[in-house]
Amino acid sequence: MLASNNFFIEFLRLARQFWCSEHKLKIRGTILLLAALTVLQMVMAVLMTQWSADLFNALEEHSMRGLIIQVGLLIVLFLADLVLTGTHLVTKRNLQVSWRDWMTEHVFSRWMDAGRHYLITPLPGEHDNPDGRIAEDCRVATESAVILGHSLLYSILLLVGFTEVLWSRSGVVTLDLGFAQIPIHGHLVWIAIVYSALASWFGWLLGRPLTGATNARQSAEANFRASLLEAQENSQAIALIHAEACERRQFRGLFDKIRVVWDAQTAAWRNITMFGTGYATLSMAFPILISAPRYITEKITLGALVQSAQAFQHMTAALSWPANNMGGIAEWRASVERILSLLKSLENVDAELAKPDHRIQVVCSDRPVLAFRDLRIGKYDGTILTPEITMEIGKGEHVLISGNAFTGARLFRAIAGIRPWGSGIIELPSQGRLFFMPPRPYLPTGTLRYAIGYPSSRRVFTQEQIEQALRLVGLERLIDQLDQREHWANILTPEEQQRLGMVRLLLNRPQWVFLQESFDALEPEDEKRMMLLICEQLSDTTLLAISHSPNGSSFYTRRLAL
List the domain range (segments joined by +) for residue 340: 4-354
Q: pLDDT band for position 40 (50/70/90)?
A: very high
3-state secondary structure of 510: coil
Domain stop point among 354, 372, 396: 354
Using a 10 angstrom Cβ sphere, with 0-12 exposed, 13-18 middle and 19 or more buried, the burial of residue 272 is buried
Angstrom distance (rounded) from CA 381 to CA 379: 5
Angstrom distance (rounded) from CA 541 to CA 535: 8
Predicted pLDDT of residue 171: 62
Domain stop point among 293, 320, 354: 354
Q: Give the Å distances, CA to CA, from 142 to 20, 147, 499.
A: 16, 9, 45
Q: Please tell me whether residues 179 and 216 are part of one structural domain.
A: yes
Predicted pLDDT of residue 79: 93
The alpha-carbon radius of gyration of the chain (Å, integer) is 35
Q: Please tell me whether residues 273 and 373 are part of one structural domain.
A: no
Q: pLDDT band for position 184 (50/70/90)?
A: low
Angstrom distance (rounded) from CA 217 to CA 261: 5
3-state secondary structure of 437: strand
Angstrom distance (rounded) from CA 68 to CA 275: 41
Q: Please tell me whether residues 256 and 402 are part of one structural domain.
A: no
Angstrom distance (rounded) from CA 437 to CA 363: 22
Domain stop point among 354, 379, 394: 354
Angstrom distance (rounded) from CA 19 to CA 149: 14
Q: Are 415 and 375 in contact (CB under 8 A)?
A: no
pLDDT tens profile 145-177:
999 999 899 888 888 877 777 777 666 666 656
Predicted pLDDT of residue 5: 65
The number of domains in the chain is 2
The three-point CA angle 460-465-470 to 5° equals 115
CA 61, chain centre distance (Å) = 60
Written as one letter, the residue type at 405 is A
Does the pLDDT value for residue 36 go beyond 90?
Answer: yes
Dihedrals φ, ψ of 132, to 5°?
Answer: -70, -35
Written as one letter, the residue type at 148 is L
Q: Please tell me whether residues 493 and 519 are part of one structural domain.
A: yes
Q: Are 428 and 363 in contact (CB under 8 A)?
A: yes
Q: Please tell me whether residues 530 and 452 are part of one structural domain.
A: yes
Q: Please tell me whether residues 79 and 223 are part of one structural domain.
A: yes
Q: Please tell me whether residues 387 and 278 are part of one structural domain.
A: no
Predicted pLDDT of residue 514: 92
Does the pLDDT value for residue 456 go beyond 90?
Answer: no
Predicted pLDDT of residue 55: 84
| Helix H or strand E segment including 267 | helix 244-296
Please write down the long-range contacts of 275-283, taking CB distance under 8 Å and 24 or more positions apart: 275/202, 275/203, 275/206, 275/323, 276/203, 276/323, 276/324, 279/199, 279/203, 279/320, 279/323, 283/312, 283/313, 283/316, 283/317
Predicted pLDDT of residue 91: 93
Rounded mean pLDDT, 532-556: 82
pLDDT tens profile 462-518:
889 999 999 999 999 999 998 898 888 888 898 999 999 999 999 988 999 999 888
Q: Please tell me whether residues 310 and 181 are part of one structural domain.
A: yes
Which residues are within 8 A (CB) of 21 and not within 5 positions of it... i.e. 6 or more apart? 27, 102
Q: Please tell me whether residues 306 and 376 are part of one structural domain.
A: no
pLDDT tens profile 87-107:
999 999 999 999 999 988 888
Q: Which residues pair with 561 in a beta bridge?
A: 402
Predicted pLDDT of residue 95: 92
Q: Which residues pair with 542 in a beta bridge?
A: 512
pLDDT tens profile 303-337:
777 777 777 777 777 777 876 777 788 788 888 88
Q: Please tell me whether residues 321 and 365 are part of one structural domain.
A: no
pLDDT tens profile 358-400:
688 888 888 888 888 888 888 877 778 888 889 888 888 898 8
Q: Please tell me whether residues 96 and 197 are part of one structural domain.
A: yes
**What is the rounded (10 degree) CA torsion for 149, 153, 155, 156?**
140
CA 496, chain centre distance (Å) = 35
- Residue 87 sits in a domain whose CATH number is 1.20.1560.10
- H helix intervals, 234-243: 235-240
- Residue 527 sits in a domain whose CATH number is 3.40.50.300
Q: Please tell me whether residues 319 and 468 are part of one structural domain.
A: no
Predicted pLDDT of residue 180: 61
